Amino acid sequence: MGKQDGRDRHVSNDDVDDAGATVLHADLDAFFASVELLEHPELRGKPVIVGHEFGRGVVTAATYEARKFGVNSAMPMALAMRRCPQAVVLQPHYDRYQHYSRIFFELCHEITPAVEAVGIDEGFLDVAGAARAIGSPKAAGQRLRDRMREQTGLIVSVGAAATKYVAKVASGRAKPDGLLVIPPARTLEFLHPLPISALWGVGAKTEERLRSRGFSTVGDVASAPIANLKRAVGDAASIKLHDLAWGIDPRRVVAGHEEKSIGHEMTFEHDIVDSAVLRRELLRLSDDVAVRLRRAGVTTRTVAPKLRYADFTTITRSRTIHTPTDLARVIYDEALALLAALEPLPAPVRLIGVRGEQLSRDAVTASLWEDAPGWREAESVMDAARAKCGRGAVKQATLIGREAGERPKLTQRD
């Protein structure tokens, strides 16, 4: 929806009527880039890109100053640097993002227990029951913004509306560093002039189909006969888009909503044919997944490795294990067994990944397999060392001496 560089920014006046706008969408501005700038305050106000500046590196995040040059996340780094050659490139640090994400959601829960996380840096809050303790929806949103800025120096933009959909659109319009309240009575006045890309589910291809049939704005979709929409996007999508165009969104904030999976993947600078390199990277990725599982207090029941070949053919496999785990060695062994079945590989490998699915907060029951070699004790010791000295303070011996060129492309968790 619109540009992501702040040129469409719109915020509410102090006297806005926020009665009924009890759903908040809170979103940290340029989160990854903003976290990196905490370590590099001298770069504030300059175009900064977070990512790996080599080979097939992609943009993980960009400041608003870089976005004004057309730099966006997931863009190839080579293209980003052509568009903004003066940009400063910083390496990503996922452990820092996790740290500040935890603070963000802790502050959200100070406002209301009805918090639904939808990513590492954004969430919905239902503040209908928080009026006595916090005040109006606008006051609740401003308190969250103030607390986050005071505690971390990071900026939160907030949208407030009667529904989740409108609240999310509003937070996007408020960026950067804004709060936008959409009174329920003014929902359609707000929505209908927006471009059709503001509708959830309208990606580039759907937008192209709609525009080819004369739809340019949300209002065009709202006023169109359903039959016309069906010809453009099909039965199910047409009803959904028509409802959203009228501000209809029956979904409620689901407190305690959690991730369905945790995964990491990396793209090689050069295509890989050496199975030893693949095994080493699979171990590193399994370790990353296990660390995040333990930090989140969850276990995984299904291990799913992924390979993408040089021709972009992508293969995924999955296996449900008998005992849920949060151990890197178990995840690695299961993933390796699945990938071994694909050998000999039909083509060089461009990307490798691993994911833990079927997450649960059930207590870990140690199996005979994992107790015998003492893996749990070993990984607990590594966790303690990382907590004290940083993520790179300790690693498995197999991972020491990785070639500098084989660096991961950071991907956000689902």
| Rounded alpha-carbon distances, angstroms, from residue 13 to 16, 44, 182 | 6, 27, 11
Residue 343 known to be catalytic: no
Task: Give the Cα separation of 152 and 169 in Å (integer).
Answer: 25
The residues, ordered by sequence, that sit 6+ positions from 199 with a Cβ below 8 Å of its Cβ are 218, 221, 241, 244, 245
C-beta contacts of 172-175 below 8 A and 24+ residues apart: 172/1, 172/2, 172/27, 173/2, 173/8, 173/9, 173/10, 174/9, 174/10, 174/11, 175/4, 175/6, 175/9, 175/27, 175/29
Task: Give the Cα separation of 284 and 296 in Å (integer).
Answer: 19
The tokens for 14 are 């102090």
Task: Give the Cα separation of 102 and 125 in Å (integer).
Answer: 16
The tokens for 33 are 């880039």
**Catalytic hit among 65, 122, 281, 379:** 122
SS3 call for 145? helix
Q: Which residues of 112-128 are buried (b: 16+ CB within 10 A; e: fewer)?
A: bebbbbeebbbbbbbbe
CB 303 within 8 A of CB 335: yes
The tokens for 219 are 């209002």
Q: Which residues of 377-406 are buried (b: 16+ CB within 10 A; e: fewer)?
A: eebeebeeebeeeeeeeebbeeeeeeeeeb
What backbone torsions phi and psi does residue 9 show, to the nearest 5 degrees?
A: -60, 140
SS3 call for 143? helix
CB 221 within 8 A of CB 196: yes
Q: Please identify every residue annotated as catalytic.
A: 122
